[in-house]
Chain A
């Protein structure tokens, strides 16, 4: 158990809909990262937040947005969903800025029908 929690575990929805994925980092970790994992694209970094502020952006679509709240939990919002958005979405956390290991949550499996 990494100490990172993600909800829900599974999400099935239809094209065009909007969903919110939630992540709670390990106790004390200030950095939260979001990743998307699919068979064809592999594990893609989406976005990083550090202590409530956006820190780095990766391959995140404009239809996707995220935020980190004062209690350090984070939410990833996916809107106007397409079939191709079906994937595993992981959240990871680390203690501070710098080159540290990241602790991954169990993931949310999103299926868009």
Chain B
């Protein structure tokens, strides 16, 4: 069963706009990670945030984590057509295994 649930399932924006994706989870976690997948290809790690962190930045990416609400958000600023992909959150609770959500499909139109 999926631990993380991304919202929305699909998002369509114009280049230059910001994209925000949310992830909710059910049980306590040690860390939460975001991955990106271009159609039918392998996942690429974007960012990891630990349970004692509230916000993290990497380039145009900003991730927040609210453990009291069991939720996280991924913000991509100034989106580009090349950002078109599916984005997954993954939660880690024990050892190093991850549980992935079903993802948000992002379409950025030129």
> What is the interface of chain A, defined by CB distance below 8 A to chain B?
2, 4, 31, 33, 35, 42-45, 48, 55-56, 58, 88, 90, 92, 94, 97-107, 109
**Across-interface contacts of A55 in B (CB, < 8 A):** 95
CB-based nearest B residue for A104? B42
CB-based nearest B residue for A106? B42
Interface string of B8-38 (1 = CB under 8 A from A): 0000000000000000000000110101000
A45→B96 CA distance, assembly (Å)? 12
**Across-interface contacts of A2 in B (CB, < 8 A):** 42, 44
A42→B86 CA distance, assembly (Å)? 12
**Across-interface contacts of A102 in B (CB, < 8 A):** 43, 45, 98
Q: Which of B59-67, B68-76, B77-85, B100-108 contacts A (4 or more CB under 8 A)?
A: B100-108
CB-based nearest B residue for A40? B102
B99 pairs with A45, CB closer than 8 A: yes
Interface size class of B (residues with CB under 8 A): 20 to 34
**Across-interface contacts of A106 in B (CB, < 8 A):** 41-42
Q: A42-B2, A42-B102 are in contact. Are A105 and B96 (CB under 8 A)?
A: no
B33 pairs with A101, CB closer than 8 A: yes
Residue among B42, B92, B100 with the highest chain A CB neighbour number at 10 A? B42
A31→B98 CA distance, assembly (Å)? 13
CB-based nearest B residue for A2? B42
**Across-interface contacts of B48 in A (CB, < 8 A):** 99-101
Residue among B31, B44, B97 with the highest chain A CB neighbour number at 10 A? B97
Task: Write the nearest CB–CB distance from A103 to chain B, whole angstroms.
Answer: 7
CB-based nearest A residue for B101? A42
Residue contacts A-B, CB under 8 angstroms, 28 given: A4-B42, A31-B96, A33-B98, A35-B100, A43-B43, A43-B100, A43-B102, A43-B103, A45-B97, A45-B100, A56-B94, A56-B97, A88-B40, A90-B42, A97-B96, A99-B30, A99-B48, A99-B92, A99-B96, A100-B96, A101-B45, A102-B43, A102-B45, A102-B98, A104-B43, A104-B44, A107-B41, A109-B40
Residue among A58, A98, A99, A101 with the highest chain B CB neighbour number at 10 A? A99
